Structure 1
Amino acid sequence: MKKRFLTRLLIIAPLCGFPAIAGATETDTAEEAPPIIDPYVDFRYRLELVDQDGFANDATASTLRIRAGVRTREWNGLSAHVQAEGIVHLGPEDFNDTVNGRGAFPVVADPEDLLLNQAYIRWQLPDRVDARVGRQVINIDNQRWIGSVGWRQNDQTFDAAFATAHPSPATSITYGYAWRVNRIFGPDSPQGIWRDNDIHMIRGSLDVENVGTISAYGYLLDIPDAPVNSSRTWGLRLTGQQPAGGDITLTYAAEYARQSDHAGHPRDFSLSYLLLQPGITAGPVALRLGYERLGGNGVDALQTPLATLHAFNGWSDKFLRTPPNGLRDLYADATIRPFRSGFLQNSAFRIAYHDFRSTRADMHYGREWNAQFTVPLRPGWSVAVKYADYDADRFATDTRKFWLTTQISF
């Protein structure tokens, strides 16, 4: 199987970006028009280690993702983008990728695959309209409700029509409609594709001077393949920053939403979401404090199934699905960029602490420490090490995860 996978990868890669620019000749110069076809390739290697209570074996996942694609030059605002993606396992499969049957190991959700990751047509009217139709990545705001799950080797993509209009420099209106969700588990997984959906994404924003960006949104999810994830969510979000003298800046985010049952959801519910996140940046140091609350009634809880979930509620991924009694996450997050020059100039240390409780019955779920060090070696090249340590109290089990990631883009 792996030999067949590599053969297919070698066949498709030249078609999606390795050769010289199509249509170029020996006489082409930098002063001439941009190339009709702009190819690119991206490599990301990751070593992921998982030590999780309840499993006799630790997981060790060594994976390589190769992306190759082409973008076309604009013509009357029209362009196209096609991207292929291959994920291969290097070494023994001592982990459960969700489709390989290795249930004695903890999950590392990076199954081996070769697929068409993106293929869409785009139309742009500068500073006015940006519209796309086809298979695409969609990231809205901080990706709490809609995101591409870029952390995993396989993106979450949408077969969708998606457009943003700017009636004025300070306003935007976004509407998207998705009929298929291509999830990170890949097409070989029973949960890898959600088909025949009726998903509406609505957002409007207004930039207010000395206040920030105020946005209102609505996400209507009708997901027949997973009806318990069908819901209707309406909300408001405020983000901004204010100078406080010298090199000090105050930052803030606040958000409130209400989610209820929709379409084929089997039960009636109505639950709230709340985020409060003040912060301060002083020179190379950025600090955020946060309170995030996802309601639960003991049977159903507020869910965000299309989000980039790894970015929220701790990197150990214990709360990818909100427990029935809800979730309250009280956290502190600090980033420091200590090096002003030299090889490590743009590197960053990040550390975070989370304390998790239920919103119903006030049960203490556990606590978690996260740490990360990222070094950009040059444009398009980076190395990162990352660690998560979840200490369980009354939810899930103690878990420790370590990642080493290197990425090279051309």
Structure 2
Amino acid sequence: MKSMLLTAAGLAVAGPACAQEIKPLAEARLRYEHVEQDGLAQDAEALTVRVRAGVQAATGPWTALIEAQGTMAVVDDYYDGLHGAATRPLVADPENVALYRAQLQYKARGVAVTAGRQRIALDDERFVGNVAFRQNAQTFDAVRVELTPVKGFKADVSYAWSARTIWGVEGNAARQAAVGGDNVFANLSWASPAGTLTGFAYLVDQDEASVQGYRLSSQSYGVRLAGAQKFSAAAKLSYQASYARQSEYGGNPNDYRTGYYLLDAGLEVSGFKLGGGYEVLGADAGAALTSFQFPLGTNFKFQGWADKFLTTPPDGVRDLYGSIGWGTKALGPFSGVSLQAAYHRFESDRLVRHYGDEIDLLASGKLGKTTVSLRYADYSADRFATDTRKLWLQLDWNL
């Protein structure tokens, strides 16, 4: 498998000599993050820069790609999860220089096969995602096969032998640079008139003793429906529903069974948006890591941006949330302007105890090739974690 990665990387480098199309890849991100957390005497101040650069070469049905990334801390008054003592809040963006992607893809009518280090983001990224918000993101050493034999049907199956984590090349102990294992991600979807109906099986094999003693290995099976209905040119209703069951897998010494479900809907009328939903991460008997877990998901997208529930508590989580927003194509010098506010009420699934509440705010817009965003999260603790406030100012530039 490692030789396949080297082959993909070599072809990406050599490809331009014989390619019909060569495309440079370049992007950069500058982010300021401030965190105040009760229980810690000092706040976190992080000013980080992330740069990615590479090249993509294509000829006929073949495409080769190689891309490197580097993250630098201009202001490093924060705990990055790897270095020093946790006397300040965690900002999970350690400095890093690494190979981000190196892949070879064959794509023809009805089939696409991708081998090498790649991004894999399935459905809403709840189970398998790229964790794109973090500077170092998450990729997989994998082989992915996507088949569309007839219009509306798709089979998407990946075998990943390594998850390249957000902790970068210096990752260690429970926060390793890469977590090996025999992971299988399988999706079968149908684009029905009501929305895309997907059946899925995610077999997560975290084959590293230092990563929670194998206790993040799990098998999840479920179904998801996501769709939208337009009432007029200015009004649209979007919705999604998901259900899954999870149990131990691979070397996981725990013996548990638990469930997950999500109900979510949003109404958009002339740029104004109103949404809400209910997400439940079930618990078994209340032991650690026997509740529904998402070790490979883009968890920042769910259950509030304060990151209090990246690892599901032993008694599970019930998240009742609502949001309001507004968007417009242009406002002054900005395009694609968006404003959003969300409220979350968190409870345990087992014993139904109030964990806390969170308010999240976001404003974003685009200036040329640069996206500017201002984000804020305020978690008010009751019976779980501690009061935490986070502020981000971020600039994203793409070639």
Same fold at TM > 0.5: yes
2:78 to 95, 101, 113: 95
**Could you tell me which amino acid in structure 1 is paired with residue 278 of structure 2?**
Y
CA apart distance, 1:407? 1.4
**Using a 3 Å threshold, how does the CA distance of structure 1 residues 245 and 271 change in structure 2: closer, same or farther?**
same
Does 1:223 pair with 2:206? Answer: yes
CA apart distance, 1:106? 0.6
Does 1:391 pair with 2:393? Answer: no
CA distance in 1, matches of 2:332, 2:249: 54
CA apart distance, 1:103? 1.7
CA distance in 1, matches of 2:136, 2:177: 13
Does 1:255 pair with 2:239? Answer: no
CA apart distance, 1:345? 3.9
| Cross-structure match for 1:369 | 359
**Could you tell me which amino acid in structure 2 is paired with residue 386 of structure 1?**
R
Does 1:70 pair with 2:55? Answer: yes
CA distance in 1, matches of 2:305, 2:396: 19
| Cross-structure match for 1:30 | none
**How many residues are aligned here?**
378
**Could you tell me which amino acid in structure 2 is paired with residue 382 of structure 1?**
T
Report if aligned partners of 2:319, 2:344 keep a CA contact under 8 Å in 1: yes
CA distance in 2, matches of 1:34, 1:381: 30
| Cross-structure match for 1:285 | 272
CA distance in 2, matches of 1:268, 1:333: 37
Q: How does 1:229-244 map to 2 (within 5 A)?
A: 229-244=216-231
**Could you tell me which amino acid in structure 1 is paired with residue 74 of structure 2?**
L
Q: How does 1:349-368 map to 2 (within 5 A)?
A: 349-368=339-358
2:34 to 19, 39, 49: 49
CA distance in 1, matches of 2:180, 2:297: 19
Report if aligned partners of 2:316, 2:348 keep a CA contact under 8 Å in 1: yes
Higher mean C-alpha displacement, 129-138 vs 142-151: 129-138
Report if aligned partners of 1:179, 1:197 keep a CA contact under 8 Å in 2: yes
2:161 to 168, 172, 179: 179
Corresponding residue SS for 1:256: strand
Q: How does 1:100-119 map to 2 (within 5 A)?
A: 100-119=83-102
**Using a 3 Å threshold, how does the CA distance of structure 1 residues 110 and 246 change in structure 2: closer, same or farther?**
closer
CA apart distance, 1:241? 1.2
Write the deviation string for residues 135-186 of structure 1: whole angstroms up to 9, x where unpaired: 0111000000000100000011100001111011111001000001110011
Higher mean C-alpha displacement, 96-105 vs 58-67: 96-105
CA distance in 2, matches of 1:278, 1:314: 17
Corresponding residue SS for 1:330: strand
CA apart distance, 1:202? 0.5
CA apart distance, 1:334? 2.2
CA apart distance, 1:34? 8.4
CA apart distance, 1:249? 1.5
| Cross-structure match for 1:150 | 132
Corresponding residue SS for 2:163: strand
| Cross-structure match for 1:134 | 116
Report if aligned partners of 2:364, 2:372 keep a CA contact under 8 Å in 1: yes
Q: How does 1:259-270 map to 2 (within 5 A)?
A: 259-270=246-257
CA distance in 2, matches of 1:132, 1:185: 24
Corresponding residue SS for 1:346: strand
Report if aligned partners of 2:331, 2:337 keep a CA contact under 8 Å in 1: no
CA apart distance, 1:35? 5.9
Does 1:305 pair with 2:285? Answer: no
Report if aligned partners of 1:46, 1:62 keep a CA contact under 8 Å in 2: yes
Q: TM-score, normalised by structure 2?
A: 0.91
Report if aligned partners of 1:45, 1:406 keep a CA contact under 8 Å in 2: yes
**Could you tell me which amino acid in structure 2 is paired with residue 384 of structure 1?**
S
2:371 to 374, 378, 382: 382
**Using a 3 Å threshold, how does the CA distance of structure 1 residues 397 and 341 change in structure 2: closer, same or farther?**
closer
1:193 to 174, 177, 183: 177
| Cross-structure match for 2:7 | none
**Could you tell me which amino acid in structure 2 is paired with residue 214 of structure 1?**
L
Q: How does 1:22-61 map to 2 (within 5 A)?
A: 36-61=21-46
CA distance in 2, matches of 1:218, 1:265: 18
**Could you tell me which amino acid in structure 2 is paired with residue 231 of structure 1?**
S
Report if aligned partners of 1:95, 1:102 keep a CA contact under 8 Å in 2: no
CA apart distance, 1:193? 3.1
CA distance in 1, matches of 2:42, 2:20: 51
Q: TM-score, normalised by structure 1?
A: 0.89
CA apart distance, 1:76? 2.9
1:170 to 125, 138, 152: 152
Report if aligned partners of 2:260, 2:281 keep a CA contact under 8 Å in 1: yes
CA apart distance, 1:22? 6.5
Consecutive unaligned residues in structure 2, runs of 5 or more: 1-11
Corresponding residue SS for 1:43: strand
**Could you tell me which amino acid in structure 2 is paired with residue 400 of structure 1?**
R
Corresponding residue SS for 2:215: helix
CA distance in 2, matches of 1:76, 1:144: 34
CA apart distance, 1:375? 1.1
Higher mean C-alpha displacement, 237-246 vs 298-307: 237-246
RMSD: 1.8
